[in-house]
Amino acid sequence: MTTNPTIPALKTSFLTTQISLLSTPLKPSSNPPNPVQDPSIPPKTITTVLEKTNTLVRQHNKRIFTPQATRHVAEQIDRLYWNAAASASEGHGEEWMRRGVDLSKEEVIEQLPPTWPDDEESEDAERYSALQARLVELDDRRSTAREKVESYKALGELVKGLGDVEGNVVVRGGEVERELERMRLLVLRVMRGVNGLEGRGGDGEEEGWEGDEDGGVEERVLGILEGV
């Protein structure tokens, strides 16, 4: 997949081309002066001067127009373009056109037009439309995910108070099951005790159930419970 060159890359290429033109060696004219008509400048002198001039120009360009300097100038041109565009859009509420704007913000994504305003037929315009649609889709998915997170947080707050309930849940071998087993055994023992009392009453001790000065059935049951 090929990517379009950036503005600094284009400007750097342009400046490099111009520097190459400046570094092109000078050549004698195709119509040199006729020594007979103008004997003041010998051809050898012209050749020597041109050679020295070319050497000086080449040294100058190599020293002044370094790759770092060329890149720096290209970045300055790029910055001027962006600053001019940002100044032009400040009064129109078009924040998305400003350089360095955060395109992940919802308000910026909402400002993005579906098509590029200037050239709707170019390849760049098609690429912009595809990227804009992708941003809108991702923003919608982010909103949905944010709503889910908020609902999960609310649910977490509701169940936070149930964090200590786990020990009381009826599970096999749990505290509740053990307590129920103890109560079942207690009931069985009480029933055996009561049955024993009833048996003794059947042998002629019914008066003890009617009412006993030394203690009635209630006292006897309590005595059994205390002995459990």
pLDDT band at 43 (very low <50, low <70, confident <90, very high): confident
One domain for residues 64 and 118: no
Q: Is residue 210 part of a domain?
A: no
Could you say which of 161, 180, 207 is where a domain stops? 161
pLDDT band at 209 (very low <50, low <70, confident <90, very high): very low
One domain for residues 61 and 150: no
For the chain, give the mean pLDDT.
75
pLDDT band at 82 (very low <50, low <70, confident <90, very high): confident
pLDDT at position 85 is 63
Q: Which residue has the higher pLDDT, 121 or 147?
A: 147
- Mean pLDDT, residues 18-37: 74
Q: Is residue 118 part of a domain?
A: yes
Q: Is the pLDDT of residue 25 over 50?
A: yes
pLDDT at position 52 is 92
Q: Is residue 174 part of a domain?
A: no
- Count: domains in the chain: 2
Q: What is the DSSP string of 155-172?
A: HHHHHGGGTT-GGGS--T
Q: Which residue has the higher pLDDT, 197 or 88?
A: 197
One domain for residues 11 and 65: yes
One domain for residues 51 and 140: no
One domain for residues 71 and 96: yes
d(CA 123, CA 108) in angstroms, rounded, equals 23
**190-206 per-residue burial string, b: 16 or more CB within 10 A, e: under 16:** eeebeeebeeeeeeeee
pLDDT at position 140 is 92
One domain for residues 90 and 1: yes
Q: Is the pLDDT of residue 187 over 70?
A: yes
Which domain does 17 fall in, by range? 1-101
One domain for residues 151 and 108: yes
Q: Is the pLDDT of residue 208 over 50?
A: no
Could you say which of 161, 176, 207 is where a domain stops? 161
Q: Give the distance from CA 80 to its chain's centroid.
A: 31
pLDDT band at 213 (very low <50, low <70, confident <90, very high): very low
One domain for residues 25 and 10: yes
Q: Is residue 178 part of a domain?
A: no
